[in-house]
Amino acid sequence: MWRRRARARDRIEQLEARVRSLELDAELHDMAAAGLRDRLDRLDAYLQPAPADQPVEFGSGVHDITDFNPDLEVLGRFVDELVSDMGLRQQLLHCWYRHPSAVLLLEALREQQDVRESNYGRWVWDMEVNKAELRTVFRRCRAGHVEEVNSWHDEAYREAYARHSAALRAAGREQLAATIDSISPFVEHLVLLFGLQHDVLHCWIKHAQVISTLRALRSTMRMHNLQGCVHTVRESRLDLRLAFRRCRAGHMDDLAGWRESTYREDFAGYVRGLPAAQEED
């Protein structure tokens, strides 16, 4: 009897794990579809001619997100306007000012006021994009404000970061350690301001692909205003989540297979055999 119960429990656990995996796959597919729709919408918007005397570009009003510090009083008046004139009563909650990612999305819209006057269709499209993001920000606050937990300030992350940085320098990889140190403030602000706590994990410092993506993202965002940054992060979000798909339960080394002794031995044997093969030819 107890064996049957044990087997039943094991089967249930396997099914539950499979369900979680399918749910994650479905979420990734939904994100991919949303990303494709967003890119098609952006392409359509870019193909619309802007007024000749007032060209609209993402390059105006450039920001460094590490210095993001908006005037909340000015932003509050703009939020009142959005609620009364644009019908955002369902998307915005009273606790908006306590969510850094909501503050950034709203400030991005406020800065696009010049676009609102010159290309209203473009501004409405930007607002629809940001409304979708705002719904995500407030998804846990419908019954009352829920404070966001910033695990990036945890002592465990700081200690792991310091150990990895020291290990890189001890191994003579000073340049990589310096690169990680240079983009670390940007990454922490990126996670906080764009709500990427579930997309970028603490082990980003151990993934060369993620480091490269984040460096490119920082360079690209420096050329855009806030709304341009919103679109840029939206496009990169799926790539970042996919990069960590195997690390949800703990970090997994991307290069584990390349460090196996069998690969090294096979490769060395093949190289040693090349001269002999050339002589035979």
Instruction: Count how many Cα atoms sit within 13 Å of the Cα of residue 66 in the half-sphere of its side chain.
Output: 10
What is the mean predicted confidence (pLDDT) over 217-241?
A: 86
Is residue 188 within 8 A of residue 158, CB to CB? The reply is no
pTM, two decimals, is 0.66
Quote the pLDDT of residue 76: 92
- pLDDT value of position 31: 66
* Residue 265 or 207, more confident: 207
User: Which is more confident, 260 or 29?
Assistant: 29
Has residue 178 got a pLDDT over 50?
A: yes
Domain map of the chain by residue range? Answer: 10-49, 151-258
Q: Which of 21-30, 92-101, 131-140, 144-153 has the highest mean pLDDT?
A: 92-101
Query: What average pLDDT score do residues 177-189 get?
Result: 91
Q: How confident is the model at residue 130 (pLDDT cuts 50, 70, 90)?
A: confident
Lowest mean pLDDT among 109-113, 193-197, 260-264: 260-264
Cα–Cα distance measured from residue 193 to residue 68, given in angstroms and rounded to the nearest whole number? 9
* Contact call for residues 105 and 133 (beta carbons, < 8 A): yes
